Each structure stands twice: as structure tokens, then as C-alpha cells.
Amino acid sequence: MTPTTTPPTTAPVAEVPARRRRFSRRVREASLGYALVLPSLLVFGTFIFYPFFKNFYLGLYRNPPFPNLPRKWVGFEQYSDILTSSDFYNSVKVTVLFALYTVPIGIALGLFLAVLAHQRLRGIAIYRTIFSSSIATSVAVASVIFGTLMNPRVGLLPWLGLDPQPPILQNPTWALVAVSVTTVWQNLGLSFILMSSGLQSIPDDLLEAAEVDGAGPWSRFRSVTLPLLSPTIFFAVVVGTIFAFQSFGQIDLLTEGGPLDRTNVLTYAIFTELRERNDPGAAAVLAIALFGITLLLTVIQMRVLERRVFYAR
């Protein structure tokens, strides 16, 4: 780069009227802005916006019961059929239950372990590693581990003298709980790491001040730690709920949506429509519904929960 090659800019600019100069500057800044946004826009457009609208569009066609027949435009008829069906209702119920079983318990357990590991003790790093290790396991691995543990012949349950009939993963009462346990375990590492980092951002001074002020361990936790952790917990609730609504692998590997649809969460219902019933239209409707429910829930959480969150400035 040789600065001498650029001509002096001050002299010609002085001849241009001030208004025009300002305008050309605005245009230049705006085009630079668009140019910078363009790459993200392309990526989002290709992988998010286009599929979304295409999905919506697919839901407007009803697919024939047999392959190789033409699909038929039905407008919103398919939407209203599916969204009022008892199967859809069941799937929503199962999905919400699944989120309720996994999110609060996962966060509470992660927080509990994070508080335990937040001590200055020799060798505590080993526990931190153990507690966060499940973040390095895939859903498949977690499912295989728990599938084995819950196996009616070689698993842990018969060894403990528990022998539900039918076996737990085929048991309409307990199958969703069993899948939830697997999920909680698999998400525990992430939850632990989130809560640990939240704890570390709380200044020691504050807890020490509370101690000198006469607060016992529980009171310190409730009056100082918990409020200051609220942004982290809020984040974990929102993201955890979205994750829960999108869970698929453990259900596919452990229960395949059964028994009696008791674990047929929305994602699994979408999968069944698409792969087993070859019905992209119905699958698209369910996918749009899942999107809408997730969006709605997130907005509600932001409105309701965020009021109780304290953000330090």
C-alpha cells in the first residue's frame, strides 16, 4: 500500500455542494451496511427462510394415499384437519409433559451440582470434569447407555429389584419418564456448565458480605446467589424448552413414539408422517405448528419470566 498514489481528497470535495456530499456519504454508508449483512442474509435465506416458506406451502397440498398420484391443493383444510385432531392434541400434550419433566429438573440438578463444585477444595476439578462430561456424549450414546440400563433382562432395574410390567420402555405410564431421565442426564453437562459460569460471575465479595451480615448458607443462596443467577437460569429455561421441543434422537432410539403414542412428541410425529406415511403435507403442517408453539412459548417466557430476572448493569 502506498499512500502517495491516492490523490488528495480535500480539494475536489470542497467544490461539491454540502447537501450532495452528505447524501453520497449516506449512500456509501448504507451500501457498505448491506454488503456486510449480505453473507448472513444468504445463509439464512437458503437454510432458514426458504425452507420455512416452502414448508408452509407444502402444507397447503394434500398428498395421495398411494405414491405416484398427483397431490391436491386443499388450502388451509389440511391445517385445520390436523391441528384439531386428537393425535395432534396428544403429541402437544406429550411434548409439553416432556419439557416439564426435563427442563426444571435438569436446571435444578445442574445448579445443585454447580453449587457443590463451586467450592475451593483440593481435587474439585475432577468433579467439575465428571459433572460436565455428559456434554461430550451424543444423544445416541446416551440412549444406548440408558436403553441398556432399562433393559428388562440385563439392566439396572431388575438388579435393583424393580421389575415393572410391561418393561419400563414399553410401559404406558413410565415410558415418557424413562425418556425424560435419559434426556436430563444427557443435558446435565450443559446445564452444569451454564450454572457454573453463572456462579463464577457472582463476586465473592457479595457472598462474604452476606456472611458477615449474618446470613446462613441457605439465606445467602436464596437472597444473593439465586437473584444474581436469574439471568442464567432464565436463559437456561428458554433454551432448554426449545431443546426439549426439538428432542428426537432419544425417542427414536428408546421408544419410537410408543407405547400407545405416550412418547409421540411432535418431532416424532413429524418423522412418522414423513417417513412412514410418506405424507410431506401433513409433516409440513406439524412442523409449522411446532414452530408456532415454540415461538409462542418463548415469547410468553420472555414476557412473564423476564420480569423476575435481575440484570446487573
Partner 1 sequence: MGRVAIQGVTKRFGDVTAVDHLTLEVADQEFLVLLGPSGCGKSTALRMIAGLDEPTEGVIEIGARVVNDVEAKDRDVAMVFQSYALYPHMSVRRNIEFPLRSRRVDRDERQQLVEEAAGMLGLDTLLDRKPAQLSGGQRQRVALARAIVRRPQVFLMDEPLSNLDAKLRVQTRAELVELHRRVTTTVIYVTHDQVEAMTMGDRIAILNDGLLQQVGPPQDVYERPTNLFVARFIGNPPMNTVTGKVVRADGDRHAVAVPGGEIAVKPEIGKALDRLALAEVVAGIRPEHLELGADGPIEATVSVVESLGHERHVFCRLTDGQPVIVRQQAAEAAPAEQTPARLTFDDANLHLFDPTTERRVEA
* Chain residues that interact with partner 1, rule: CB under 8 A: 203, 205-206, 208-216, 219, 223-224, 227-228, 310, 312-313
What is the smallest separation between the CB atom of 272 and partner 1, expressed in angstroms?
47
- Do residues 309 and 230 make contact, with C-beta atoms less than 8 angstroms apart? yes
Q: Residue 218 Cβ, how far from partner 1 at the closest point, in Å?
A: 11
* CA-to-CA separations, 119 to 69, 116, 122, 124, 200, in angstroms, rounded: 66, 7, 9, 7, 11
CB of 229 to partner 1, least distance (A): 11
Q: Please say which residue, 176 or 233, places its beta carbon nearer to partner 1.
A: 233
| Residue 120 vs 153, nearer CB to partner 1 | 120
Nearer of residues 15 and 204 to partner 1, judged by Cβ: 204
123: left (phi over 0), alpha (psi -120 to 50) or beta: left
Q: Which is nearer to partner 1, 77 or 208 (CB)?
A: 208
- Measure the CA–CA gap between 226 and 244, rounded to whole angstroms: 24
Helix and strand numbers, DSSP H then E, in the chain = 15, 2
- Least CB distance to partner 1 at residue 212 (A): 5
- Closest approach, Cβ 306 to partner 1, in A, equals 14
- In the bound state with partner 1, the residue whose beta carbon lies nearer, of 123 and 214, is 214
User: Residue 114 and residue 116: Cα distance in Å, rounded?
Assistant: 5
C-alpha to C-alpha distance for 25 and 20, rounded to whole angstroms = 8
Q: Which residue has the cell 448504507?
A: 30
